[in-house]
């Protein structure tokens, strides 16, 4: 395997050669990797892997939709720029992972296993672990000193976990691949080689993965966007790994060639790296394409790995801010890593590698998490850009690149140091402000955050910003941010633009809402990751709007996952994280408290922390070198300055680390144990529980996603939507594709919910097909409501939800009319005029479209409504003039017109006669006017009658006797009479009793004493339907 890896490396080198710088780098890397990697790489890899895995998990949880997006982007971006592709790849990978995790969450790990050839499920993981890690560990680890611990660790926990991350990435790819099919197999083969690579170093392993991924990715790209995206993602993941590797190599180089580095322009070299990155990215795309075929994969993979590695390195440096997420973990990890590094002392380079790897992995993780949420690729791109800039500034030599890497590592270290020491963090903060980019980003970020996500995001964002600027700073900041130190308002301009772009994609309000939600989550995630500022938002692919929910879910998921799963997974890791914050204590605390810290941090973070620590250590080792180098780079840009700070911090950390080298070793052991734990069944259980938690947290969303996934298989609307959206995004990014290509039909909601009963809830985001009922179900629901014996409030609620589903699905047919008519009638019966008016206005347009219904009935209602409730003569005249001749012959309309005549002439006798013989629900509308009419009638009577009027007559004329059904005339003495007397009394009428004992209205006395009493059911807010009692009954439904 080692040989294979080496061979690959050499191949890659050869291919790289065309680009002298790249080639050199590659060579160096390969050399360094091979040499130092084997020992260190494993360790570092293991840590990074774990980190990656954790990140992946977290990202996976959140990122399903994103992944798809990422895919598109990646595919497009691949063509664009290697960086983009890398970024996207990392994003995609993260996203894919996120998707994977999501799927896992939903279906559970077990589900994953079956679905994925590789086996996402815990079993899959284990298998992966076993396969990859075990193999790797066996090979490289066994060889390496650390390998002992590592091998143990790897096989047992950390490695398995780390590998799982690999496996995750693989699995994810496999998911996508599963669709692609053949490609996966190919990838599978590469994977194995990768494992062999692992022997050479974690690098090789990762590279092989990446390559395999890439290949699949390429295939996928050729075939379907999603698959390509996955592959890209995987590649990204690989890239991160690679990056880590490269970083490791760099670090190793740095230590080894510290002199050379120092001599060389570190900054410039770093810049070169970035450039290389781009080149690499290009290569990636190219290589990927070429590789896709198959055997070439290895070489392609290697190249891609290199590129990825480069990218990884860059990202790492850049991503360190993203790492901010992990900052805590990082710090702990760094501490732990430091310890390991100390332990490995001899294999400083290896440790460096490991560190670097870890850092890269961290970066990757960060990028991936962030990307998944936002469009991590952007961030990564940003980081890339930064790197590129640096590289550009100092493109002089590959060596320089290495120094850059060193710097990066140093920066990490510094960050780690910072983490341990608050002061350093503060320093980093200070640095952050100094950085113009950061400052601008912060300011921008604030606005963006405001837009996207309220306080949380804002708070997180600040942290991110700081993090993003200088990685160490970011970390510190992130920590601070986590501590609510960050300024909420600070968002980078690029993020703003990103948000704008995202919103521009929105086609309608629902999408905008969804988009907003997604953005919110992305930003929060980014802030949480600390990648807010580091990300290149401009380059970040836009998320698919429909996926917004998924994203939300993802974002939600990650947090829960991180909290619980992390804990469960690797206590040791946690300890590392703790270590990071307190480097000095690391050695001591690590074993004890690591678990807690690690728990706090995501599994990813944990691993990264370790990596970081390692990187730090490496950095420390390299630090000196890198410091000098860093100083040089610092000239280049803010980053250099940051790096310097970091380097300083690293130096400090190194010092501590050096002192704690023994401790570190112990820590590494811890790590390994922790890692091994991760792989254990317990870990699996934890993961499952995590996934469950996710489901709980996500609730509907998770379910939705699940459904989506279920449906997704072939032509899931969701996936289609997502793809469409992705296309949009990709279009946006690349501008190469036309908007017309978007499958708009795919964006229309088609409900899948089979529940007949559904409570109405006002939509605050894009409707979820799984909660929307299709037409058949709605018909049943309508029938159910019509036959329901429950009260109006229940029916109203149900009808509103039916209406919503109809609206959401843009169903406008006879069913729609029926629903509105039913609701209008019900609301009339209940005297709920506001609701009736809503239905009436809808019916008006529906009738106008020629849909059949009870047009006349509702024309009559409309007429009555105007007559009785708006004293607007113009409206009345216009609505009368709009009646057709046919309508005027309709019984209901005729009745309404007669009522109008009675009202305008004040003919109360006629009015109450019409009241009694009203067709349909005209009575209900007239009911609302009865009181007024009675009062008018009685005041008229009391003016014109002398001396008295028998109450019985009034009761009969004014419809009081109506209460006794049927023969009201004869029954007029009954309840109607009592009611009439009551009414008279409440309206101030003077009643007398004549000789025969009949109650009479004293007209003369009453003419001056009549008054209109305040309505008994008057409510302050004017709507009796909102009365508390009704509300309570409604909620109890």
Partner 1 sequence: MAYLSMGEAHRRITEYLNRFSEAVSFQDGASLKQLLSVSSNSPSLLSLADSLNVFQDANRLIKQSDKYSQFGEIIAPFFRCLQSYRIGNLLDAYHAFEKAANAFLPEFRNWESAWALEALYVIAYEIRILAERADRELASNGKSPEKLKGAGSFLMKVFGVLAGKGPKRVGALYVTCQLFKIYFKLGTVHLCRSVIRSIETARIFDFEEFPKRDKVTYMYYTGRLEVFNENFPAADHKLSYALMHCNPHHEANIRMILKYLIPVKLSIGILPEDRLLEKYGLVEYSNVVQALKRGDLRLLRQALQEHEDRFLRSGVFLVLEKLELQVYQRLLKKIYIIQKQRDPSKAHQMKLEVIVKALKWLEIDMDLDEVECIVAMLIYKNLVKGYFAHKSKVVVLSKQDPFPKLNAKPVNS
Nearer to partner 1, 183 or 980 (CB): 980
For partner 1, which is the closer residue by CB, 495 or 903? 903
> Near partner 1 by CB under 8 A, which window of 357-365, 478-486, 944-952, 1014-1022?
944-952
Closest listed residue to residue 379, CA positions, set 486, 287, 491, 221 = 491
Q: How far is the CB of 896 from partner 1 (least distance, A)?
A: 15
Report the site for partner 1 in 593-622 (rule: CB under 8 A).
none
Whose Cβ is closer to partner 1: residue 860's or residue 914's? 914
From the list 247-255, 563-571, 846-854, 906-914, the region that binds partner 1 by CB under 8 A is 906-914
Tokens 């070489």 correspond to: 299
Q: How far is CA 433 from the centre of its chain?
A: 29
Q: Judged by CB under 8 A, which stretch of 554-562, 749-757, 811-819, 937-945 contacts partner 1?
A: 937-945
Q: How many CB atoms lie within 10 A of CB 22?
A: 32
- Per-residue CA distances from 57 to 87, 231, 611, 699 (Å): 18, 17, 17, 19
- Residue 293: CB atoms within 10 A of its CB come to 13
Q: Which of 791, 841, 904, 986 is in the footprint of partner 1 by CB under 8 A?
A: 904
Is residue 194 within 8 A of residue 214, CB to CB? The reply is no
Contact predicate 118/407, CB 8 Å: no
Residues linked to residue 950 through DSSP beta bridges, in sequence order:
1000
Q: How far is the CB of 960 from partner 1 (least distance, A)?
A: 14
Q: Which of residues 527-546 bind partner 1 (CB under 8 A)?
A: none
Q: Is 889 in the site for partner 1 (CB under 8 A)?
A: no
Torsion sign, CA atoms 1017, 1023, 1025, 1031: negative
Centre a 10 Å sphere on the Cβ of residue 14 and count the other Cβ atoms it contains. 15
Considering the complex, what minimum distance in angstroms separates the CB of residue 909 from partner 1? Answer: 4
Q: Are 691 and 109 in contact (CB under 8 A)?
A: yes
Looking at the Cβ atoms of 507 and 943, the one nearer to partner 1 is: 943
Q: Say if residues 734 and 670 touch (Cβ distance below 8 Å).
A: no
What is the rounded distance in angstroms from the CA atom of residue 830 to the CA atom of residue 963? 18
Work out which of 483, 754, 884, 944 binds partner 1, going by CB under 8 A: 944
C-beta of 710 vs 943, nearer to partner 1: 943
End-to-end Cα spacing for the chain: 67
User: Are 225 and 73 spatial neighbours (Cβ–Cβ below 8 Å)?
Assistant: no
Of 441, 476, 202, nearest in space to 334 by CA: 476
Closest of 937, 940, 900, 938 to residue 918, by C-alpha: 900
Which span sits near partner 1 by CB under 8 A: 173-181, 728-736, 738-746, 939-947?
939-947
Asked if residue 1005 binds partner 1 (CB under 8 A), the reply is no
| 503 scored as a contact of partner 1 (CB under 8 A) | no
Among 484, 736, 786, 878, contact with partner 1 (rule: CB under 8 A): 878
Of 297-305, 372-380, 558-566, 902-910: span binding partner 1 (CB under 8 A): 902-910
541: left (phi over 0), alpha (psi -120 to 50) or beta: beta
* Site track for partner 1 across 956-995, x = CB under 8 A: -x--------------------------------------
CA nearest to 201, candidates 250, 138, 140: 140
Per rule CB under 8 A, is residue 1012 in the interface with partner 1? Answer: no
Question: Is 346 a residue that touches partner 1 (CB under 8 A)?
Answer: no
Stretch that binds partner 1, among 315-323, 735-743, 946-954, 962-970 (CB under 8 A): 946-954
85 is a contact residue toward partner 1 (CB under 8 A):
no
Torsion (CA) 661, 662, 668, 670 in degrees, nearest 10: -140
Residue 877 or 1012 having the CB closest to partner 1: 877
Q: How far apart are CA 310 and CA 307, in angstroms?
A: 5
Question: Of 224, 345, 831, 950, which lies in the binding site for partner 1, with binding defined by CB under 8 A?
Answer: 950
For residues 734 and 541, the answer to whether their CB atoms sit within 8 Å is no
Could you say whether residue 876 binds partner 1 (CB under 8 A)?
yes
945 lies in the binding site for partner 1 (CB under 8 A): yes
Q: With CB under 8 A as the contact rule, which of the stretches 335-343, 661-669, 742-750, 932-940 interacts with partner 1?
A: 932-940
What residue has token string 């990082």?
330
Interaction between residue 898 and partner 1 (CB under 8 A)? no
Pick the closest to residue 728 from 719, 739, 720, 718 (CA basis): 739
- Cα(198)–Cα(216) distance, rounded to whole angstroms? 20
What is the rounded distance in angstroms from the CA atom of residue 215 to the CA atom of residue 236?
12
Total site size for partner 1, rule CB under 8 A: 29
Task: Return the exposure string of 718-755: e unless at least 16 CB atoms fall within 10 Å of the residue's CB, then b.
Answer: bbbbbbbbbbbbbbbbbeebeeeebeeebbebebbbee
Tokens 């609206």 identify what position?
Answer: 807
**Interface with partner 1 (CB under 8 A), residue from 697, 756, 880, 928:** 880
CB 654 within 8 A of CB 134: no
Phi, psi values for residue 485, rounded to 5°: -80, -30
Query: Minimum Å distance from CB 1006 to partner 1?
Result: 13
- Residue 905 as a binder of partner 1 (CB under 8 A): the answer is yes
Which CB, 870 or 944, lies closer to partner 1? 944
Contact between 946 and partner 1 (CB under 8 A)?
yes
User: Within 120-179, which residues bind partner 1 (CB under 8 A)?
Assistant: none
Coil, strand or helix at 293: coil
CB of 939 to partner 1, least distance (A): 8
Q: Does 933 bind partner 1 (CB under 8 A)?
A: no
948 binds partner 1 (CB under 8 A): yes
- Please, what is the minimum distance in Å from the beta carbon of residue 945 to partner 1? 5
Q: Should residue 949 be labelled a site residue for partner 1 when binding is judged by CB under 8 A?
A: yes
Residue 604 tokens, joined? 């990813």
Compute the least distance from the CB of residue 778 to partner 1, in Å: 32
Give SS3 for 492: coil
CB of 1012 to partner 1, least distance (A): 17
> Judged by CB, which is closer to partner 1: 290, or 907?
907
* Interacting span for partner 1 (CB under 8 A) from 106-114, 128-136, 678-686, 943-951: 943-951
- Cite the DSSP H helix spans in 394-492: 398-418, 422-434, 436-452, 455-468, 471-482
Give least dist CB 953 to partner 1, A: 7
Tell me if 943 contacts partner 1 by CB under 8 A.
Answer: yes
Measured from the CB of residue 946, what is the shortest distance to partner 1 in angstroms?
Answer: 4
Give the footprint of partner 1 on this chain (CB under 8 A): 873-874, 876-878, 880-881, 901, 904-910, 937, 939-941, 943-950, 953, 957
């Amino acid at each position: 395997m080692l040989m294979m890896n080496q061979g690959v490396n050499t191949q890659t080198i050869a291919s790289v050669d065309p680009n002298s710088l790249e080639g050199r780098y590659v060579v160096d890397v390969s050399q360094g990797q091979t040499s130092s990697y084997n020992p260190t790489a494993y360790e570092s890899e293991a840590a990074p892997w774990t980190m990656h895995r954790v990140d992946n998990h977290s990202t996976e949880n959140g990122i399903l939709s994103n992944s798809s997006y990422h895919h598109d982007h990646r595919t497009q971006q691949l063509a664009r720029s290697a960086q983009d592709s890398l970024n996207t790849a990392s994003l995609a990978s993260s996203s894919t992972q996120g998707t994977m995790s999501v799927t896992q969450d939903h279906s559970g790990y077990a589900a994953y296993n079956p679905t994925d050839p590789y086996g996402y499920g815990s079993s899959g993981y284990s298998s992966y672990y076993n396969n990859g890690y075990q193999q790797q560990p066996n090979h490289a680890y066994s060889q390496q000193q650390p390998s002992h611990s590592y091998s143990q660790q790897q096989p047992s926990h950390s490695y398995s976990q780390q590998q799982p991350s690999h496996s995750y990435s693989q699995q994810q790819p496999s998911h996508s691949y599963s669709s692609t099919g053949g490609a996966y197999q190919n990838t599978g083969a590469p994977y194995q080689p990768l494992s062999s690579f692992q022997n050479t170093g974690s690098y090789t392993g990762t590279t092989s993965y990446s390559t395999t991924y890439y290949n699949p990715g390429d295939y996928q790209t050729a075939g379907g966007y999603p698959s390509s995206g996955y592959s890209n993602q995987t590649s990204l993941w690989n890239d991160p790994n690679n990056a880590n590797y490269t970083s490791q190599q760099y670090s190793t180089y740095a230590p080894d060639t510290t002199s050379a580095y120092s001599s060389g322009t570190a900054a410039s070299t770093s810049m070169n790296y970035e450039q290389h990155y781009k080149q690499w990215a290009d290569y990636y795309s190219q290589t990927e394409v070429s590789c896709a075929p198959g055997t070439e994969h290895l070489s392609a993979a290697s190249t891609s790995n290199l590129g990825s590695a480069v990218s990884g390195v860059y990202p790492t440096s850049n991503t360190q801010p993203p790492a901010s997420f992990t900052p805590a973990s990082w710090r702990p990890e760094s501490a732990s890593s430091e310890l390991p590094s100390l332990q490995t002392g001899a294999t400083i380079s290896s440790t460096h590698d490991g560190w670097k790897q870890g850092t890269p992995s961290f970066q990757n993780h960060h990028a991936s998490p962030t990307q998944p949420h936002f469009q991590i690729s952007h961030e990564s791109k940003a980081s890339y850009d930064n790197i590129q800039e640096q590289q550009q500034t100092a493109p002089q030599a590959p060596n320089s690149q290495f120094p850059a890497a060193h710097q990066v590592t140093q920066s990490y270290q510094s960050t780690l140091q910072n983490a341990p020491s608050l002061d350093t963090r503060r320093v980093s903060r200070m640095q952050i402000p100094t950085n113009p980019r950061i400052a601008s980003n912060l300011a921008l970020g604030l606005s963006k955050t405001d837009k996207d996500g309220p306080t949380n995001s804002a708070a997180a964002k600040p942290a991110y910003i700081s993090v993003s600027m200088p990685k160490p700073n970011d970390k510190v900041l992130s920590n601070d941010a986590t501590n609510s130190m960050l300024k909420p308002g600070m968002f980078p301009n690029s993020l703003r633009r990103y948000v704008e772009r995202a919103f521009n994609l929105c086609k309608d309000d629902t999408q905008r809402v969804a988009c907003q939600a997604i953005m919110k989550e992305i930003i929060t995630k980014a802030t949480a990751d600390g990648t807010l500022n580091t990300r290149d938002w401009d380059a970040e692919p836009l998320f698919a709007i429909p996926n917004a929910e998924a994203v939300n879910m993802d974002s939600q998921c990650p947090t829960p996952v991180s909290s619980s799963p992390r804990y469960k997974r690797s206590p040791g890791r946690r300890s590392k994280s703790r270590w990071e914050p307190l480097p000095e204590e690391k050695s001591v605390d690590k074993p004890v408290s690591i678990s807690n810290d690690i728990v706090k941090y995501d599994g990813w973070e944990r691993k990264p922390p370790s990596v970081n620590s390692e990187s730090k250590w490496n950095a420390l080792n390299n630090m000196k070198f890198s410091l000098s180098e860093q100083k040089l780079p610092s000239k280049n840009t803010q980053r250099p300055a940051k790096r310097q700070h970091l380097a300083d911090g690293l130096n400090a950390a190194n010092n501590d680390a050096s002192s704690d080298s023994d401790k570190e070793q112990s820590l590494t052991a811890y790590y390994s144990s922790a890692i091994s734990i991760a792989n254990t069944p317990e870990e699996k259980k934890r993961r499952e529980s995590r996934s469950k938690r996710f489901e709980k947290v996500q609730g509907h969303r998770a379910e939705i996603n699940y459904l989506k996934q279920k449906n997704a298989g072939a032509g899931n609307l969701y996936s289609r939507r997502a793809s469409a959206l992705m296309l949009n995004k990709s279009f946006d990014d690349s501008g190469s594709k036309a908007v017309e290509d978007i499958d708009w039909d795919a964006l229309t909601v088609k409900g899948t919910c089979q529940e007949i009963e559904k409570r109405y809830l006002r939509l605050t985001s894009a409707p979820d097909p799984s909660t929307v009922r299709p037409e058949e179900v709605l018909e049943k629901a309508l029938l159910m409501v019509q036959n329901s014996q429950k009260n109006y409030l229940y029916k109203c609620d149900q009808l509103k939800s039916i209406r919503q589903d109809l609206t959401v699905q843009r169903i406008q047919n006879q069913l729609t009319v029926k629903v509105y008519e039913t609701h209008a009638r019900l609301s009339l019966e209940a005297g709920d005029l506001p609701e009736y008016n809503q239905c009436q206005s809808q019916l008006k347009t529906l009738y106008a479209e020629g849909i059949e219904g009870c047009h006349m009935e509702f024309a009559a209602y409309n007429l009555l409504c105007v007559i009785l409730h708006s004293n607007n003569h113009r409206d009345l005249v216009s609505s009368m003039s709009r009646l057709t001749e046919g309508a005027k012959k309709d019984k209901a309309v005729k009745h309404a017109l007669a009522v109008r005549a009675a009202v305008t002439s004040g003919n109360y006798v006629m009015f109450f006669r019409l009241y009694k013989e009203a067709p349909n629900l005209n009575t209900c509308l007239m009911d609302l006017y009865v009181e007024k009419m009675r009062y008018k009638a009685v005041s008229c009577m009391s003016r014109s009658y002398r001396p008295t009027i028998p109450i019985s007559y009034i009761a009969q004329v004014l419809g009081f006797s109506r209460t006794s059904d049927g023969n009201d005339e004869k029954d007029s003495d009954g309840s109607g009479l009592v009611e009439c007397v009551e009414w008279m009394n409440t309206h101030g009428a003077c009643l007398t009793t004549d000789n025969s004992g009949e109650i009479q209205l004293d007209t003369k006395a009453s003419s001056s004493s009549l008054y209109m009493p305040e309505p008994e059911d008057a409510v302050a807010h004017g709507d009796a339907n909102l009365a508390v009692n009704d509300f309570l009954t409604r909620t109890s439904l």
